[in-house]
Amino acid sequence: MSSSHHEYVVSNLPLGVRFYQSDVTTSGYVPFHWHNSIEVLLVLNGELTVTMNRKTTSITNNEFIIISSGVIHDVRNTPNQALVLQIPLQILDPYVAKPEEILFDMSRPISTKLKKQIIAQLLKINQAVYEKPDGYLFDAEIALTEFLKLIVLNLGEEGKNVFSNVGSNLKNLLVYIDSHYREEISIQQMARQSGYNASYLSRLFKKNMGITLTEYIYEIRLSRFYDDLLETDKPINELMDRHGLTNRRTSREQFKKMYGILPHEVRKNRSR
């Protein structure tokens, strides 16, 4: 699953939000990115693992996570089905003074009652959108409004999600890595690009992202390589070269660690 780093949400409903069911049949990894919207993921089956704000959270059947606007995060997945709701900030304008500053704290305890209420509204939206009974947009909007009320009042913290120079520089660095990951880029090169010295940049990235720069570049290379294994018939060694994976043995070991399977097994399974 590849992804651009800054994702702009295009609504697919007259309500102004984007809502869909995601059906993914393979394991995958979406590298660090961010949205200009609030994103909600509800797993119907399978597992998603999200890393953001230096914390990794795994969600499985009937569990959800809310990702605040502008927050850098990555996603790992097993084969899964999930509901995805992306809410542009202007949807909250009538209800919240500064929706861009709301931070949804998923580390706080959520009561079973609240969890059931939130999930129920997402399922109501899903039922309305996919069954399309008469007046379904009324039903979907009622459920969406109730959903927003529940998460803003119970999980949102106003004034917490504020713009920072560090966050902006890290986002610029992610874009740079995405453009140059095939090359032999050094930490010194990335430091010059970011305006930091190399040792400080390494510490900053590890502190904020939870992994080292070297680990992240390898994950980018492996994820793009994995996508091409699934989507093309080009030879495995050619694809490794294309994505900067010059050490074959290490690449295969890291690939097995990341996906639980070797590259040639991915190809074999795809052809069945």
Q: What is the pLDDT of residue 165?
A: 64
Render 114-164 in DSSP notation, one character per residue.
Answer: HHHHHHHHHHHHHHHHHH--TTHHHHHHHHHHHHHHHHHHHHEETT-S---
pLDDT of 8 strictly over 70 = no
Q: What integer is the mean pLDDT of 98-113?
A: 90
* Cα 36 to Cα 93: distance, rounded to the nearest angstrom: 14
CB 219 within 8 A of CB 258: yes
147-165 tens-digit pLDDT? 999 999 999 987 666 555 6
Using a pLDDT cut of 90, give the percent of the chain over it: 74
CB 60 within 8 A of CB 46: yes
127-153 tens-digit pLDDT? 999 999 999 999 999 999 999 999 999
Q: What is the pLDDT of residue 3?
A: 44
Going along the chain from its start, the domains and CATH numbers come out as: 6-157 (2.60.120.10), 165-270 (1.10.10.60)
Q: What is the pLDDT of residue 1?
A: 42
> Which residues are CB-neighbours of 199 under 8 A, at least 6 positions away?
none
* Cα 199 to Cα 70: distance, rounded to the nearest angstrom: 26
Q: What is the pLDDT of residue 164?
A: 59
Q: What integer is the mean pLDDT of 8-30?
A: 83
Q: What integer is the mean pLDDT of 215-238?
A: 94
256-271 tens-digit pLDDT? 999 989 999 999 888 7
pLDDT of 12 strictly over 80 = no
Taking residue 125's Cβ as centre, other Cβ atoms within 10 Å add up to 24
* Cα 262 to Cα 164: distance, rounded to the nearest angstrom: 40
Taking residue 251's Cβ as centre, other Cβ atoms within 10 Å add up to 20
pLDDT of 231 strictly over 70 = yes
Kindly tell me the sign of the dihedral angle through the C-alpha atoms of 141, 142, 145, 147.
negative
